[in-house]
């Protein structure tokens, strides 16, 4: 915890919860049950690295069982500790509730710097971690389903799947034990970009709300907005891509080694290529270097998108932030002190438990695909195309006019897997934005969008507990 922070990450989540709980009518017992982490598993296991034995520290926390399975990513980072994993697991519960994904929250973490290990060593660590989860029944399609998070991706999910399936031969739903897998291993199209795409859909929706935009003095619409993205990992890269394609201008991108700025806009793909080639984001053609990467957060822009780790904006640097909107693509990038500063400054914070929920939403679609053992669109794509063709030819016959080829293609197209995943995600992000904003408008005492999102989440989890009959 940085010196200037009053609260640990988990304490910050509790604080946000308490702020919102005041606006609900739940029995204190229910609130207490929702807040706590139900099951906490800390493990140490030995792995042979070179000729040495290293003891690895790892965690899996299941925050809530109000719905099962539990769901949440696995993080590889040296920041991993019990407090962090508990905070992230709790955020998963609220996130799933906000986007109506029927899971309890969980999170896992391994305290390693993945850059220090070879792929072979990482595989050994991941497989051993999975064994530990299996031994304690902390993984399974109906119990707890991990996914990628900071420092992990499709490769790690494949190793988890392979370890799980080899230990559970014949388990028909084994593919659903983990999400974020490669397509060839039962993954779903659209999962890789899902978090970034969800952030874009969410911001687009928020920016289309005249009342909110008027409050912060910005024109309606995402088009033309100046966006700063912190982090060019899977999430940051896709946020930048979809924002650029959606008509916004990505004026700066920040990474550990520094940041780059170009008022005319940056192309994330070119930036990524440049970084791969030169080993740094700096010195990108046409852009200005910002060697102190933290300064990127303080650039003049319309939307600031932290897309890396927690607590990057705190009481110290928040007063210097000039953005009008802060979109939390990362989990917990703002400390409670930063929230207070932004509330006073009138900066609109679009909270993580809503904005970055695209990842888990599409994980839910992947899990459903695995349980149904059929790819999305397989049954209806051709049928829909034939049906559209008949409608079109009837229209042409009746009107005596022909539809041009491009329009014909568009109208006839039957949905494939990514069409369905994208539209399912867009629908989810639009629907949840409305639920949050409605809750916010219903009670003028709710200070900010984060609190409104927590109110929505607490009410859903509370209803689940109450309807389970645990608290008569």
Distance between CA atoms of residues 300 and 314, nearest Å? 18
Binding status of residue 72 toward ligand GLU by CB under 6 A? yes
DSSP code of residue 297: G
Instruction: Please tell me whether residue 73 binds ligand GLU under the rule CB under 6 A.
Output: yes
Among 71, 189, 275, 450, binds ligand GLU (CB under 6 A): 71
CB of 133 to ligand GLU, least distance (A): 14
Determine, following the binding rule CB under 6 A, whether residue 332 of this chain makes contact with ligand GLU.
no
Q: Which of residues 370-389 bind ligand GLU (CB under 6 A)?
A: none
**Of 352, 358, 394, 306, nearest in space to 147 by CA:** 358
DSSP state for residue 334 in the 8-state scheme: B
Q: Which is nearer to ligand GLU, 147 or 287 (CB)?
A: 147
Cβ atoms 94, 21 nearer than 8 A: no
* 139 is a contact residue toward ligand GLU (CB under 6 A): no
Site for ligand GLU in 338-367 (CB under 6 A): 356, 359-360, 363
63, 93 Cβ separation under 8 angstroms: yes
Tokens found for residue 176: 């659903």
Contact pattern for ligand GLU over residues 19 through 58, marking x by CB under 6 A: ----------------------------------------
CB of 6 to ligand GLU, least distance (A): 24
User: Chain-centre distance of CA 53, in angstroms?
Assistant: 35
Binding mask 268-287 toward ligand GLU (x if CB under 6 A, else -) reads: --------------------
Helices 405-412 and 381-399, axial angle in degrees (round to 10): 140
Q: Which is nearer to ligand GLU, 249 or 361 (CB)?
A: 361
Q: Which of 233, 273, 195 is nearest to 115 (CA)?
A: 233
Between 177 and 259, whose beta carbon lies closer to ligand GLU? Answer: 177
Among 77, 126, 158, 179, binds ligand GLU (CB under 6 A): 179
Is residue 432 within the footprint of ligand GLU (CB under 6 A)?
A: no
Contact 146, 76 (CB under 8 A): no
Using CB under 6 A as the binding rule, whether residue 64 contacts ligand GLU is answered as no
Interhelix angle for 358-372 vs 417-442, to 10°? 130
Nearer to ligand GLU, 72 or 462 (CB): 72
Determine the residue with CB nearest ligand GLU.
73
The number of CA neighbours under 13 Å toward the Cβ of 240 is 25
CB of 233 to ligand GLU, least distance (A): 12
Cα distances from 256 to residues 47, 79, 109, in angstroms, run 29, 15, 21
21 vs 214: CA distance, rounded Å: 28
- Determine the Cα–Cα distance for residues 308 and 306; give it in Å rounded to an integer: 6
Shortest distance, CB of residue 323 to ligand GLU, whole angstroms? 22
Binding-site string for ligand GLU from residue 146 to residue 165, where x marks contact by CB under 6 A and - marks none? -x-x----------------
Please state the closest distance from residue 71 (CB atom) to ligand GLU, in A: 4
Q: Enter the DSSP assignment of 172.
A: T
Report the catalytic residues. 107
Q: What does the binding site for ligand GLU look like in residue numbers (CB under 6 A)?
A: 71-73, 147, 149, 179, 331, 356, 359-360, 363
């Amino acid at each position: 915890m940085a010196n200037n922070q009053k609260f640990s990450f988990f304490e910050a989540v509790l604080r946000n919860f308490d702020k919102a709980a005041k606006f609900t009518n739940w029995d204190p017992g229910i609130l207490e049950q929702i807040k706590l982490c139900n099951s906490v598993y800390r493990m140490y296991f030995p792995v042979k690295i070179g000729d040495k034995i290293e003891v690895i520290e790892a965690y899996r926390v299941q925050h809530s069982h109000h719905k099962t399975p539990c769901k949440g990513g696995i993080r590889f980072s040296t920041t991993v500790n019990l407090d962090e994993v508990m905070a992230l697991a709790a955020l998963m519960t609220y996130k799933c509730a906000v986007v109506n994904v029927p899971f309890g929250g969980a999170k896992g973490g391994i305290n390693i710097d993945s850059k220090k290990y070879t792929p072979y060593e990482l595989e050994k660590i991941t497989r051993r971690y999975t064994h530990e989860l299996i031994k304690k029944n902390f993984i399974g399609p109906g119990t707890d389903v991990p996914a990628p998070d900071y420092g992990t991706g499709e490769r790690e999910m494949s190793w988890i799947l392979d370890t799980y399936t080899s230990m559970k031969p014949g388990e028909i739903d084994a593919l659903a034990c983990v999400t974020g897998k490669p397509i060839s291993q039962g993954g779903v199209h659209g999962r890789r970009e899902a978090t970034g795409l969800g952030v874009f859909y969410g911001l687009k929706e928020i920016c289309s709300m005249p009342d909110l935009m008027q409050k912060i003095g910005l024109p309606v619409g995402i088009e033309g907005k100046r966006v700063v993205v912190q982090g060019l990992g899977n999430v940051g890269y896709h946020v930048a891509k979809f924002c650029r394609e959606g008509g916004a201008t990505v004026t700066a991108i920040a990474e550990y080694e520094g940041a780059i700025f170009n008022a005319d806009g940056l192309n994330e793909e070119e930036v990524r290529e440049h970084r791969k080639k030169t080993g740094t984001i700096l010195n990108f053609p046409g852009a200005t270097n910002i060697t102190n990467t933290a300064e990127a957060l303080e650039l003049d822009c319309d939307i600031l998108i932290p897309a890396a780790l927690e607590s990057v904006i705190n009481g110290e640097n928040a007063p210097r932030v000039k953005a009008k909107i802060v979109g939390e693509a990362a989990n917990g990038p703002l400390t409670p002190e930063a929230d207070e500063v932004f509330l006073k400054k009138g900066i609109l914070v679009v909270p993580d438990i809503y904005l970055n929920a695209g990842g888990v939403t599409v994980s839910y679609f992947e899990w459903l695909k695995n349980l149904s053992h059929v790819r999305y669109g397989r049954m209806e794509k051709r049928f829909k195309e034939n049906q559209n063709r008949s409608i079109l030819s009837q229209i042409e016959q009746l009107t005596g006019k022909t539809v041009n080829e491009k329009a014909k293609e568009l109208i006839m197209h039957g949905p494939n897997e990514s069409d369905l995943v994208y539209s399912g995600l867009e629908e989810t992000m639009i629907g949840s934005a409305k639920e949050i904003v409605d809750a916010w408008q219903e009670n003028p005492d709710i200070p900010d969008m984060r609190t409104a999102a927590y109110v929505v989440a607490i009410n859903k989890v509370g209803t689940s507990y109450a309807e389970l009959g645990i608290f008569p």
